[in-house]
Structure 1
Amino acid sequence: MPNNTINYPELAQQIKQWASELGFADAAICDIDLSAHEAQLQRWLELGYHGEMNFMAEHGTKRSRPDELVPGTQRVIALKMHYLPPDAGFARTLKNPQLAYISRYALGRDYHKLMRNRIKKLGQRIAQVAEGLGFRPFVDSAPVLERQLAAKAGLGFTGKHSLLIDKQAGSWFFLGELFVDIPLPVDDPDIRQATQGECGSCVACMTMCPTGAIVEPYVIDARKCISYLTIELKGAIPEQYRTAMGNRIYGCDDCQLICPWNRYGEITAESDFHARAQLKDQPLLTLFSWDEETFLTNTEGSPIRRIGHQRWLRNIAIALGNAPYDSAIVEALMARLNGASDLVAEHIHWALAQQQQKREALSVTVTAHTKKTQRLIRAVQKGLPRDAE
């Protein structure tokens, strides 16, 4: 029941101020009606676009009905926090096939714990005013339609790549939610942000996607997505996507990199999200040389740790196969093959085959160049014009 002693509009404004003080870039409030998204979610699941992410199909309707997930929930406070680190160096890393590309959200500290602790503190502050408040924080850790709630609250609009976009700050931000059981006034998304249509005729993200994972506007087939393949997929990465992965060993940012709205992307104020030296712009061979202990040490507190050492090696093996021929790469792959698990060995064999093909192609190129040079030498010796033969 509403507490008539509480000025809810005033509390809503105070909540947003507290959120700012806790480091959130924005906060907005929405109701819990997500019925408009249930059919779309069900279609996505029926098409199998979730791949091995079975958690997306679990929990029944709780994902789209917050009050079933947390009984008594009346409002959701949606929050966002920027994560783009200074000197991100996207293009520089992607253009150098000897370097490992790691999605920019994963170069610093794992955001889950940091944001959840901040959201919990926000709930505790609200409880000091709203005595007996029931609340629960979420950060990508439960069956919650985070993007849909954030859009409903007005934190941004959904882009064709399915990510949330803020017209003033791009899409480089994390989302979190606080479920509360009090009737706070809701924000009007049409005043805060346009909720749909802001991509217009632009299809840059769809065109840029290396594997064609954006199968239609606003719909992702996760089974094709490099982020899914390098992070969520536990088994072998399908061969038809390996070459397209390039040097991306953990996640992919291409759809955000090409998005025109990200010209307004804001640098994070959180130093914990700044890139770690041992992860940023590192040579593939350096990362491939890590044993499990080194991997665990260098990824402590990082979201990368969740994929484990074996999938780390699997991903890097593909990147090494995609790199230009280098005898040092072949030697590293052969050395790692000794004692490798079946999963890693499969990808090493693929990488070695790629390197062999590149070596043969290089040999053909060198031979052709040598023959051309020899013809030029003979022409000069005969006193003929250089293009006479």
Structure 2
Amino acid sequence: MKRKFVIFIAVLFVSVLLVASSVNRSSETETGTIPCGVRPFKYTSGYLLGPPIVAVVKCNSYDLNEVRRAMDEAIGLIGGLGDIIKPGDIVGIKPNLCDNTPSEWGVTTHVNIVLALIEQIRKITNNEIIIMEGTGASPTSDCFRDLGWKEIERNGCALLDLNHPFPHTEFGTYTIPGGGLHFKELRLNKEIEKVDIFISVAKLKMHSSAGITLTLKNQFGVPPRDIYAPEGTSKMMLHGQDPRYDLPKVINDINACNPIDLGIVDGVIGLEGGEGYWIPTASRRASHLLIVGKNAVAVDAVGTFLMGYDPTAEYPNPPFINTQSHLRIARDLGLGPTDLNKIDIRLGKGIKNLKDMVVKYGLPWQNTDIPADFKPDEVKRIVIQNREEKK
């Protein structure tokens, strides 16, 4: 009897150990992910597995062969795309087509950047590639037409207007991880739900409200105008009642809800002084570069530095002279680093030092109505830390 009792205790002890081990393994596999309404953060080669890699390469013009060369070099520097894209994956690509201003004027993503990217994607998956945009002012279809994106359609890719629910009859509703900072949920075109990989292909630009507009801010084109632009306004609901506080939080809500798996910045021709020519201080600025990485916060930090500003800055320091920094909030949420010392920056041919590629971009106008007691918000981390980071 005593022997049976000892055996029972031993079996029970082993069972407890196995359950504990299973729980530990489960928690380890979840490291670097958060529950998400559209898809989880993957971080396959990102922030929580070591310093994220960001490539900076020269791209001297929008000639397709030059862009192909630069894109191939940049993707090679970040280790290829095979760790984030698998055969059979459906890929969504979000360019910055805020209006139909020609890309050579520095406002919109050039179509050849995405054509070169598609060629890289086609080396891995032959499934759908969907070009997604929901413009703020001009009809999205006009931007696709006027800026040459019908060429993309002829290359076997779909063009999708995110401002409307088509091809569905209604928008989907997606919860924001951690409860959200401004919104608790977002309504989006349901086609985003079927995308396995989401790529933000932004423009190197300053922004009159947000300070900078790169891969994170580019997601403003994802929430539909049908929902977030009452009476034909330019998605003003997304700016909140007080843009100084709300705009950076909304940017992060969108990115938490719809994570970016690959961030690319078209910095061949950028824009200083604002995000478009409706801002009086806006003008073209040539940087002749591409920025590519698998962590969008790190990509935007490098882009901010290359425009001549400190990515760790906070209001009232430039470039965040009109609002709190959405980069700082993203960092505090655990979405990525803003300190360049925590980013593995890989330079393309002909670049000896990252500082050599810095081109100072002028600031937009400054809002003089900001109260003296304006103070940036504190936010709580939503991404699980891994064991190395906890140490």
TM-score by length of 1: 0.28
Determine which structure has the larger helix proportion and give its number: 1
Determine which structure has the larger strand proportion and give its number: 2
Name which one, 1 or 2, has greater alpha-carbon Rg: 1
TM-score by length of 2: 0.28
